Amino acid sequence: MTTHTRLLGVMGHPIAHSKSPQMHNAALTHQQLPYTYLAFDVCPERLPQAVAGMHALGARGWNVTIPHKVSIMPLLDEIAEEARVIGAVNTVVCEDGVLLGLNTDGAGYLQSLQEETGLDVRKQRILIIGAGGAARGVAYALANAGAEHIVIANRTRENAEQLRDTLSPLTEVKAVHLEDMRRWLSDRTLIVNTTSVGMAPETDVSPMPEEWLPEGVVVSDLIYNPAKTKLLREAEKRGCVIHNGLGMFVHQGA
Ligand code: ATR
162 Cβ below 6 A of ligand 1: no
Q: Is the pLDDT of residue 17 over 90?
A: no
How many other C-beta atoms can be found within 10 angstroms of the C-beta atom of residue 12?
20
Q: What is the pLDDT of residue 127?
A: 98
Q: Is 130 in the pocket of ligand 1 (CB under 6 A)?
A: yes
pLDDT of 201 higher than 90: yes
Question: What's the start-to-end Cα distance of the chain, in Å?
Answer: 22
Backbone CA torsion sign across 182, 132, 244, 122: positive
Three-state DSSP at 12 gives strand
Nearest residue (CA) to ligand 1, atom 3: 134
pLDDT in tens, 90-99: 999 999 999 9
Question: CA triplet 9, 81, 174: central angle to 5 degrees?
Answer: 110
236-240-245 Cα angle (round to 5):
75
Mean pLDDT of 51-62: 97
Task: Judge whether residue 174 has pLDDT over 90.
Answer: yes
pLDDT at residue 241, rounded to an integer: 98
For 81-95, what is the mean pLDDT? Answer: 94
Residue 222 CA, closest ligand 1 atom number:
3
Question: pTM value?
Answer: 0.91
* E-only strand ranges, the chain: 6-12, 35-41, 61-64, 78-79, 91-95, 98-102, 125-129, 149-154, 172-177, 190-193, 218-221, 241-243
Q: Is 123 a catalytic residue?
A: no
Q: Is the CB of 206 under 6 A from ligand 1?
A: no
Decide if pLDDT at 59 tops 90: yes
| Catalytic choice (19, 69, 228, 230) | 69
Which residue among 103, 196, 202, 205 is best mutated to probe the pocket of ligand 1, counting the most ligand atoms within 8 A of its Cβ?
Answer: 196
| pLDDT above 90: residue 133 | no
Please tell me if the CB atom of residue 205 comes closer than 6 angstroms to any atom of ligand 1: no
- Say yes or no to pLDDT of 53 above 90: yes
Task: Write the single-letter amino acid at 86.
Answer: I
Residue 174 pairs with which residues in a beta bridge?
A: 151
Is the CB of 133 inside a 6 Å radius of any atom of ligand 1?
yes
pLDDT category of residue 158 using cuts at 50, 70 and 90: very high
pLDDT tens digits, 205-245: 999 999 999 999 999 999 999 999 999 999 999 999 999 99
Which string of DSSP letters, residue by residue, matches 173-201?
A: EEEEEGGGGGGGSTT-SEEEE-SSTT-TT
Average pLDDT of span 113-121: 97
How far is residue 138's CA from residue 116's CA, in Å, rounded to a whole number?
16
Nearest residue by C-alpha to atom 31 in ligand 1: 195
- Mean per-residue pLDDT, 94-114: 97
Q: Is 103 in the pocket of ligand 1 (CB under 6 A)?
A: no
**C-alpha closest to that of 189 among 110, 128, 105:** 128
pLDDT band for position 21 (50/70/90)?
very high
Mean pLDDT of 118-126: 96
